[in-house]
Amino acid sequence: MPTISARIPEDDEEALAEVAAMLSEDKSSVIRKALREGLTELRVRRAIEQYQSGEISTNQAARVAGVSVAEWLEIARDRNLTTQLSPEDLDAEAETAREI
């Protein structure tokens, strides 16, 4: 496993220590979990932005978010997302969904 070194503000270090104690885990484990969850959220946020602007389709949004199409549709529903896709785009999306 590669090693990464980073400097963090004192407040973040204190919060890290608190969460590590709360979870009964070492700080390295908490950092790995936080990084994984944070990266996932950043991917989802970017997919939402692009999907909402009509730049990408449902399938593309799922890829950007790093989830399955079914998971993306759940994210879209949970976050009340709307799309700017044309009726033709929606037909293509429906056809793709049928193939899955």
For 20-69, the pLDDT digits (tens) are 999 999 999 999 999 999 999 999 999 999 999 989 988 999 999 999 98
Asked whether residue 38 is domain-assigned, the answer is: yes
Sequence letter at residue 50: Q
Distance between CA atoms of residues 99 and 6, nearest Å:
45
Evaluate if residue 87 carries a pLDDT over 80.
no
Structural domain that includes position 17: 10-99
Asked whether residue 82 is domain-assigned, the answer is: yes
Per the structure, the count of domains in the chain is: 1
CA 29 and chain centroid, separation: 20
Distance between CA atoms of residues 87 and 23, nearest Å:
48
Q: Which of 36, 32, 60 is nearest to 48 (CA)?
A: 60
Tokens of 93: 């999306």
Asked whether residue 42 is domain-assigned, the answer is: yes
Asked whether residue 1 is domain-assigned, the answer is: no
pLDDT on residue 84 = 64
Q: Which of 90, 71, 80 is nearest to 52 (CA)?
A: 80
Asked whether residue 59 is domain-assigned, the answer is: yes
Asked whether residue 34 is domain-assigned, the answer is: yes
Strands, DSSP E only, in the chain? Answer: none
Asked whether residue 22 is domain-assigned, the answer is: yes
